[in-house]
Chain A
Amino acid sequence: MLVILIRAVILYAFVIFAVRLMGKRQIGELQPSELVITILVSNIATLPIEDSSIPMIMGLLPITALVCLDVIMSGATLKFRKLRSIISGSPKIIIRDGVIDQQQMKVLRFSIDDLMESLHEYNIFDINEVQFAVVETTGKISVYQKQEFRPVTNGDAGVSGENADPPSIIINDGVLIEDALPTVNRGRGWVEHILKERGLSLDEVFLFTAEKNGNYTVIERSK
């Protein structure tokens, strides 16, 4: 039993390392090849955990090989466009100027329900509002609305404003995040000064956020 426990811990750490090696792209939307790798890795990892007669290297080796192959392949697809379209496919247009390309829908085996469901996610309930809809290589549908149905932006309304970075977290649960101070052009002294003014110690602060323009928010830890 102890052997299985140790194996599980090692494989857990190893699979996390493997997923990190694959990169952040894999965690979001999966390309077909990435989906295959993810399923295979999860399956292979369970074998040496369940069966102690299988050497652990039999699990570690294929996982490493698959992940490395995937990274090498994704590197190659960056260089070779043709390879990218072979491995990941290419985006397909299914609505153009409000007209559904039924032939393409058939090829993609997309039902009208699938399409409508995806449009609903964009708050679109009428096909006529769509200028352009594309099925991405991940299977997700991206929609571009017709001009008259697009929401009004600040730019459309002529509202001007300064672009500013969002507030940075300076103190997180009593811990001062030194790396965040340069992002708001401040130093440790500024934080200490504010805390002194409010009669707070570092430990008493639950959250402290600040902006470049000097605005800040302090939330005390509840007692």
Chain B
Amino acid sequence: MQRVWVCTVIMVLLAGASVFGAWLVDSSCERLSDGINEAKSLYDEGEISAAVERMDALYDEWDMDLKIMSCLAGKDRLSGLNASIARVKPFMETENDELDAEILSVLYQLDLLRREEKPYYWNIL
């Protein structure tokens, strides 16, 4: 019966770790979305150097988050997101027309990543 109790405890721990993992991905994605929106606002106000600085800080944060998220989400999705994020700063620096589209793409991918970690019926079925 001791084995049954050990397994029950492990199951509870797994459930806890799964919820924590989902929260971790969610909060990382939210932080990144907020950061990108912030940088975009600065860019729209004409403060390009401040926007680029914000993106630099965001890259450092993303670097940390990426390591954690690599353990929790598929690497294919993360590498796509990583490539999109990497393009934002050079686009800001060169005032590229594709900046808006790239930012939208990043925000969409972040949103998708968040939603995929949550147990919605369409996610489970």
Asked if A75 contacts B1 (CB within 8 A), the reply is yes
Interface 1/0 per residue, A56-70 and B, CB below 8 Å: 110001001101110
Asked if B7 contacts A71 (CB within 8 A), the reply is yes
A40 interface residue (CB < 8 Å to B):
no
Distance between B70 CB and nearest chain A CB, rounded to angstroms: 7
B-side interface residues, number (CB < 8 Å): 19
Asked if B72 contacts A55 (CB within 8 A), the reply is yes
Asked if A55 contacts B14 (CB within 8 A), the reply is no
A54 interface residue (CB < 8 Å to B):
yes
Which of B6, B7, B17, B75 has the most chain A CB within a 10 Å cutoff? B7
A213 interface residue (CB < 8 Å to B):
no
B4 CB contacts on chain A under 8 angstroms: 71-72, 74-75
Residues 56-102 (chain A) with a chain B CB within 8 angstroms = 56-57, 61, 64-65, 67-69, 71-72, 74-75
Q: Which interface class (under 10, 10 to 19, 20 to 34, 35 or more) fits A? A: 10 to 19
A-B contact count (CB 8 A): 48
A21 CB contacts on chain B under 8 angstroms: 3, 6-7
Q: CA–CA, A65 to B14, complex, Å?
A: 7
Q: CA–CA, A64 to B18, complex, Å?
A: 13
Interface 1/0 per residue, B42-70 and A, CB below 8 Å: 00000000000000000000000000001
A67 CB contacts on chain B under 8 angstroms: 7
Asked if A72 contacts B75 (CB within 8 A), the reply is no
B10 CB contacts on chain A under 8 angstroms: 64, 68
Q: CA–CA, A71 to B14, complex, Å?
A: 15
B73 interface residue (CB < 8 Å to A):
yes
Given contacts A61-B18, A64-B10, contact A71 B3 (CB under 8 A): yes
A147 interface residue (CB < 8 Å to B):
no
A23 interface residue (CB < 8 Å to B):
yes
Q: CA–CA, A67 to B72, complex, Å?
A: 21
B11 interface residue (CB < 8 Å to A):
yes
B17 CB contacts on chain A under 8 angstroms: 61
Given contacts A65-B14, A75-B4, contact A53 B76 (CB under 8 A): yes
Residues 26-75 (chain A) with a chain B CB within 8 angstroms = 52-57, 61, 64-65, 67-69, 71-72, 74-75
Asked if B3 contacts A23 (CB within 8 A), the reply is yes
Among B1, B6, B11, B70, point to the contact of A55 (Cβ < 8 A): B70
Interface residues of B (CB under 8 A from A): 1, 3-4, 6-8, 10-11, 14, 17-18, 21, 70-76
Mind listing 18 A-B residue pairs with CB under 8 Å? A21-B3, A21-B6, A21-B7, A23-B3, A54-B74, A55-B70, A55-B75, A56-B71, A57-B71, A57-B72, A61-B14, A65-B11, A67-B7, A68-B11, A71-B6, A72-B7, A75-B3, A75-B7
Q: Which 5 A-B pairs have the closest CB atoms?
A: A75-B4, A68-B7, A53-B75, A71-B7, A68-B11
